[in-house]
Amino acid sequence: MSALNLTQNGDSSSPPPISAADDTRSALIFIGTGCSSAVPSAMCLIQPSESPCPVCSQALSIPPEKNPNYRCNTSLLIDYCRSDGKHSYVLIDAGKTFREQVLRWFTLYKIPRVDSIVLTHEHADAVLGLDDIRAIQPYSATNNIDPTPIYLTQFAMESLAIKFPYLVQKKMKEVQEVRRVAQLDWRIIEENYEKPFVASGLQFVPLPVMHGEDYICLGFLFGEKCRVAYISDVSRFIPSSEYVISKGGAGQLDLLILDTLYKNGSHNTHFCLPQTLDAVKRICPKRALLIGMTHEFDHHKDNKFLREWSQREGIPVQLAHDGLRVPTDL
Ligand SMILES: [Zn+2]
Ligand SMILES: [Zn+2]
Q: Which residues pair with 71 in a beta bridge?
A: 39
Q: Do 185 and 194 meet the contact criterion of CB atoms below 8 Å apart? A: no
Q: Check whether the bond before 40 is cis (ω within 30° of 0).
A: yes
> What CATH number does the domain containing 68 carry?
3.60.15.10
Ligand showing the shortest atom-to-Cα distance for residue 293: 1
Q: What's the half-sphere exposure (Cβ side, CA atoms, 13 Å) at 292?
A: 25
Given this model, what pLDDT does residue 174 score? Answer: 73
Tens-digit pLDDT profile for residues 262-287: 999 999 999 999 999 999 999 999 99
Q: How far is the CA of 258 from the centre of ligand 2 (A)?
A: 13
Mean pLDDT of 244-253: 97
Q: Check whether the bond before 54 is cis (ω within 30° of 0).
A: no
| Sign (positive or negative) of CA dihedral 293, 299, 302, 308 | positive
Closest CA to 294 of 88, 21, 44, 3: 44
- Other C-beta atoms closer than 10 Å to the C-beta of 42 total 10
Ligand showing the shortest atom-to-Cα distance for residue 232: 2
On whether residue 148 sits in a domain, the answer given is: yes
Q: How far is the CA of 125 from the centre of ligand 2 (A)?
A: 7
Q: How far is the CA of 123 from the centre of ligand 2 (A)?
A: 5
3 state DSSP class of 326: strand
On whether residue 248 sits in a domain, the answer given is: yes
Which residues have CB under 8 Å from 63's CB, separation 6+? none
Q: Is the pLDDT of residue 23 over 90?
A: no
Closest CA to 201 of 110, 121, 90: 90
Given this model, what pLDDT does residue 65 score? Answer: 87
On whether residue 12 sits in a domain, the answer given is: no
Q: How far is the CA of 120 from the centre of ligand 2 (A)?
A: 8
Q: Is the pLDDT of residue 20 over 60?
A: no
3 state DSSP class of 49: coil
Mean pLDDT of 230-247: 98
Q: How far is the CA of 58 from the centre of ligand 1 (A)?
A: 9
On whether residue 62 sits in a domain, the answer given is: yes
Q: How far is the CA of 85 from the centre of ligand 2 (A)?
A: 35
Ligand showing the shortest atom-to-Cα distance for residue 51: 1
Q: How far is the CA of 55 from the centre of ligand 1 (A)?
A: 6
Residue 68's pLDDT band, with cuts at 50, 70 and 90, is: very high
Distance, CA of 46 to chain centre? 28
pTM here is 0.93
More confident residue, 52 or 204: 204
Ligand showing the shortest atom-to-Cα distance for residue 93: 2
On whether residue 13 sits in a domain, the answer given is: no
Ligand showing the shortest atom-to-Cα distance for residue 74: 2
Q: How far is the CA of 262 from the centre of ligand 1 (A)?
A: 12
On whether residue 33 sits in a domain, the answer given is: yes
Q: Do 221 and 205 meet the contact criterion of CB atoms below 8 Å apart? A: yes
User: In terms of residue numbers, what domain contains 260?
Assistant: 20-327
Closest CA to 215 of 196, 193, 234, 239: 234
On whether residue 7 sits in a domain, the answer given is: no
Q: Is the pLDDT of residue 14 over 70?
A: no
Which residues have CB under 8 Å from 309's CB, separation 6+? 277, 317
Q: How far is the CA of 36 from the centre of ligand 1 (A)?
A: 14
Q: What does the angle CA 129 – CA 116 – CA 137 come to, to the nearest 5 degrees?
A: 60
Domains held by the chain: number: 1
Tens-digit pLDDT profile for residues 171-218: 767 777 888 899 999 999 999 999 999 999 999 999 999 999 999 999
On whether residue 9 sits in a domain, the answer given is: no
Q: How far is the CA of 326 from the centre of ligand 2 (A)?
A: 24
Question: Residue type at 97?
Answer: T
d(CA 22, CA 110): 13
